[in-house]
Amino acid sequence: MSKIVPEALASYAESWLGAKETTSNRGPEVDFFVRTAGGTPSARPPWCAYFVTFCCDALRRMGFDLHEVRTGRAVNHWLKADESRRIERNAVWDIEHPRGLIYIRTRTSKPATDADKVRSGISRQGHVGIVVSVDGDTITGLAGNSSGAGHSAGSGSVCYETIKKGDRAYERIVGFVSVVDPPEEI
């Protein structure tokens, strides 16, 4: 499998850069992401996972062959992904083409040990986005319901996030998920 699918996923997600809430977890574009990905906008859910699901669904509808987890919960992108598509946190530095991987992390307001719990199958609150680049010790991702520093409350948008190896967000990365098989080919 070529890197076309993950590249298309990252590029499609970037096309939504700047989409934002008008009130907490609501707004015309946010409601569209949530509804299209199977959620209920009036419930005002945290929408980072719905944004990733929305982007994956859009590619599938365009005819791309990809593996996705339809979920509105961030850590379910890890918990429900086939184990063959899971990539350990520290392995991202060795991947030739990481663009288009889905990154999953637990909340920065919670202990770093929550990431270990998710890896062992226990659900925790988290955040999810799509890798757009890895350069040196820095991962740049794109996520919904973000302030640019991770999960946001009341002012979320689709924006870039920067995660540096060893920082608070990096220590909470559960891992990465490939939308194509096998992950080694990306």
Phi, psi angle pair for 84, to nearest 5°: -70, -15
What number is the average pLDDT over the span 151-172?
86
> Tens digit of pLDDT for each residue in 116-137?
999 999 999 999 999 999 999 9
For residue 147, what pLDDT is reported?
85
Indicate the pLDDT class of residue 1, thresholds 50, 70 and 90. Answer: very low
Distance of CA 94 to the CA centre of its chain: 19
> Tokens standing for 80?
């429900």
> Tokens standing for 173?
């990365």
pTM of the model: 0.93
Residue 55: partners with Cβ closer than 8 Å, 6 or more residues away: 9, 12, 13, 16, 130
The answer to whether 156 and 142 have CB atoms below 8 angstroms apart is no
> Tens digit of pLDDT for each residue in 12-45?
999 999 999 999 999 999 999 999 999 999 999 9
